[in-house]
Structure 1
Amino acid sequence: MFRQISRLMFATVYSVAVALVAPAFAQNQDDFAFWPGATYDASIPTLQSIAGHENGERITKPEDVVAYFQALEAVAPDRIKVWEYARTWQGRPLIYAAISSPENIARLDDVRTGVAALADPRATNRAEADRLISSLPGSTWIAYGVHGNEISSTDAAIMTAYHLLAAQNDERVQKIMNETIVFIDPMQNPDGRARFIHNFETSEGLEPQASRLAAERNEPWPNGRTNHYLFDMNRDWFALTQPETVGRIRILREWMPLVFVDAHEMGSDSTYYFAPEAVPYNPHLAADQRASLELFGRNNARWFDRFGFDYFTREVFDAFYPGYGASWPSYYGAIAMTYEQASARGLKARRNTGEEFHYRDTVRQHFVTSLSTAEVTADNSEKFLREFYSYRVSAIEEGRTENVRSFIFPATRDAAGARKIASLLTTQGAEVIQANAAFQACGASYDAGAYIINLNQPSKRLLRTLLDENIEIEQGFLEEQERLRSKNLPDQIYDVTAWSLAQMFNVEMDACGSLVIAGDFSPFDPTASEGGLTNPDASVAFLVNWGERPAARLLALALRRGLTVYSSDLPFTLAEGEMQFNAGALIFKREDNPDNLPAILEEIVGETGAEVIGVSDSWATSGPNFGSFNVVKMPAPRVAIAWDMPTNPYSAGNTRYVIERQFDYPVTAIRMSQLGSRYLDNFDVLVLPAAWGDYTQEVGAAGAERIKDWVDRGGVLIGAAGALRFMANPEVGLLSSRRENAAKENGVAAPGDDATVEGKIIEDEQGFLNAVEPKTESPDPSAGVMVKAVVDSDHWLAAGVAPELNVLVRGGDIYTPVDLNTGTNVARFAGANELVVGGHLWEQTRDQLAYKPFVIAEPRGAGQVIAFTQDPTVRAYLDGLNLIYMNAIFRGAAHATPPR
Structure 2
Amino acid sequence: MTALPLRYFVACVLGLLLVAAPDAQAQEVPIAIDTPVEGIDRYNPDIPTPQDVIGHEIGTRHTRPAQVIDYFEAVAEASDRVVMERHGTTYDHRPLIHAVVAPPEDLSRLDEIKAQNQALSSDPSSVSDADLADLPAVAYMGYSIHGDEASGTEAAVLLLYHMAAGEGPAVDAVLGDVVTIIDPLFNPDGRARFVNWVNGNRGETATADDQDREHNQPWPGGRTNHYWFDLNRDWMPVQHPSSQARIALYQDWRPQVLTDYHEMGSEATYFFQPGVPSRTNPNTPDENQELAGELAEYHADFLDEIGSLYYTREQFDDFYYGKGSTYPDVQGTVGILFEQASSRALKNDTDSGVMNYAFTVRNQFLASLSTLQGTVELREDLLRYQRDFFADRDEFLDDAPMTGYLISSERYPQRAQALGQLLMQHRVELFDLEETVESNGRTYRPGSAYWVPLDQEQGRFVKGVMEQRTTFQDSLFYDVSTWTLPLAFGTDYSELTSTPDGVRGERITDMSYDGGRVVGGEAEVAYVMPWGRYFAPRALYQLQDADITTRMMPDPFEVEVGGTTQSFDRGAIVIPLQQRNATRQEVHAAVQEAASAHHVEIMAVNRGLTPQGPDLGSASSTVLQKPEVALVTGNDGRSRWGGASAANAGEVWHLLSERFDMPVSLLDISYIESLDLSEYNTLVMAGGSYDGLDAERVQAWVEDGGTLIASHTGVRWAVDHEMVELEAKTLDVDSLVADQDYADLGEARGAQGIGGSIFEAQLDTTHPLAFGYDETIPVFRRGTRFYEPHEEPGHTVGTYTDTPRISGYISDPVEEIAQESAALVAEQRGSGQVILLMDNPNFRAFWYGTNGLFLNALFFGDTF
TM-score normalised by structure 2 residue count:
0.90
Alignment of 1:487-636 (within 5 A): 492-518=476-502, 521-524=505-508, 525-527=510-512, 529-575=514-560, 578-592=565-579, 593-594=582-583, 595-636=585-626
Q: Which residue in the other structure is 1:382 paired with?
A: 380
CA distance in 2, matches of 1:42, 1:139: 27
CA RMSD, aligned part only? 2.6
Residue 82 (structure 1) aligned to one of 58, 72, 84: 84
Q: Aligned partner of 1:521: which letter? A: G
Q: Which residue in the other structure is 2:6 paired with?
A: none
Q: Which residue in the other structure is 1:23 paired with?
A: none
CA distance in 1, matches of 2:807, 2:256: 31
Structure 1 position 695 matched with structure 2 position 690: yes
Q: Which residue in the other structure is 1:222 paired with?
A: 220
Conserved 8 A contact 1:467-1:502: yes
CA distance in 2, matches of 1:153, 1:874: 28
Structure 1 position 663 matched with structure 2 position 660: yes
Structure 1 position 682 matched with structure 2 position 679: yes
Q: Secondary structure at the match of 2:365?
A: helix
- Aligned-residue offset at 1:816: 2.9
Structure 1 position 712 matched with structure 2 position 709: no
Task: Provide the identity percentage.
Answer: 28
Q: Secondary structure at the match of 2:167?
A: coil
Structure 1 position 806 matched with structure 2 position 778: yes
Structure 1 position 855 matched with structure 2 position 824: yes
Q: Which residue in the other structure is 1:788 paired with?
A: 760
Residue 717 (structure 2) aligned to one of 682, 704, 726: 726
Alpha-carbon spacing, 1:267–1:773, altered in 2? closer, same or farther (3 Å): closer
Q: Secondary structure at the match of 1:154?
A: helix
1:166-210: CA deviation from partner (whole Å, max 9, x where unpaired): 1224x2210110111010110111111111112212321241122
Deviates further, 33-42 or 240-249: 33-42
Deviates further, 35-44 or 57-66: 35-44
CA distance in 1, matches of 2:36, 2:436: 65
Q: Aligned partner of 1:276: which letter? A: P
CA distance in 2, matches of 1:768, 1:190: 46
Q: Which residue in the other structure is 2:107 paired with?
A: 105
CA distance in 1, matches of 2:716, 2:534: 30
Q: Which residue in the other structure is 2:49 paired with?
A: 46
Conserved 8 A contact 1:104-1:178: no
Alpha-carbon spacing, 1:623–1:129, altered in 2? closer, same or farther (3 Å): farther
Structure 1: where are the runs of 5+ without partners?
A: 1-25, 479-491, 748-764, 896-900
1:589-638: CA deviation from partner (whole Å, max 9, x where unpaired): 11224313233222233322112221223332332221113211121121
CA distance in 2, matches of 1:32, 1:42: 14
Q: Secondary structure at the match of 2:195?
A: helix
1:129-155: CA deviation from partner (whole Å, max 9, x where unpaired): 557534431110011010000000000
Q: Aligned partner of 2:827: which letter? A: E
CA distance in 2, matches of 1:501, 1:690: 23
Alignment of 1:247-646 (within 5 A): 247-279=245-277, 280-353=279-352, 355-395=353-393, 397-399=395-397, 402-435=400-433, 437-439=435-437, 445-448=443-446, 449-470=448-469, 472-474=471-473, 477-478=474-475, 492-518=476-502, 521-524=505-508, 525-527=510-512, 529-575=514-560, 578-592=565-579, 593-594=582-583, 595-645=585-635, 646=643
Q: Secondary structure at the match of 2:273?
A: coil
Conserved 8 A contact 2:197-2:214: yes
Conserved 8 A contact 1:211-1:349: yes
Q: Which residue in the other structure is 2:149 paired with?
A: 150
Deviates further, 64-73 or 784-793: 784-793
CA distance in 1, matches of 2:294, 2:726: 54
Q: Aligned partner of 2:71: which letter? A: Y
Residue 69 (structure 2) aligned to one of 66, 69, 87: 66
Conserved 8 A contact 1:404-1:511: yes
1:704-735: CA deviation from partner (whole Å, max 9, x where unpaired): 22111111111000111222222111xx3211
CA distance in 1, matches of 2:734, 2:164: 66
Alpha-carbon spacing, 1:623–1:443, altered in 2? closer, same or farther (3 Å): closer
CA distance in 2, matches of 1:203, 1:375: 39
Q: Which residue in the other structure is 2:10 paired with?
A: none
CA distance in 2, matches of 1:461, 1:357: 43
- Aligned-residue offset at 1:779: 11
Q: Secondary structure at the match of 2:611?
A: strand
Q: Secondary structure at the match of 2:840?
A: coil
Conserved 8 A contact 1:577-1:622: no
Q: Secondary structure at the match of 1:187?
A: coil
CA distance in 2, matches of 1:103, 1:623: 75
CA distance in 2, matches of 1:217, 1:678: 30
CA distance in 2, matches of 1:269, 1:746: 32
Q: Aligned partner of 1:72: which letter? A: V
Q: Aligned partner of 1:375: which letter? A: Q
Alpha-carbon spacing, 1:135–1:536, altered in 2? closer, same or farther (3 Å): farther
CA distance in 2, matches of 1:377, 1:623: 70
Q: Aligned partner of 2:804: which letter? A: L
CA distance in 2, matches of 1:891, 1:145: 42
CA distance in 2, matches of 1:868, 1:520: 40
Q: Which residue in the other structure is 2:812 paired with?
A: 843
1:441-470: CA deviation from partner (whole Å, max 9, x where unpaired): 799752222110111111011100111011
Q: Which residue in the other structure is 1:760 paired with?
A: none
Residue 93 (structure 2) aligned to one of 86, 91, 99: 91
- Aligned-residue offset at 1:780: 4.2
Deviates further, 560-569 or 173-182: 560-569
CA distance in 1, matches of 2:466, 2:50: 46
Residue 233 (structure 2) aligned to one of 227, 232, 235: 235
Conserved 8 A contact 2:470-2:809: no
Alignment of 1:763-774 (within 5 A): none
Q: Aligned partner of 2:608: which letter? A: S
Alignment of 1:738-887 (within 5 A): 738-742=727-731, 780-820=752-792, 824-831=795-802, 834-887=803-856
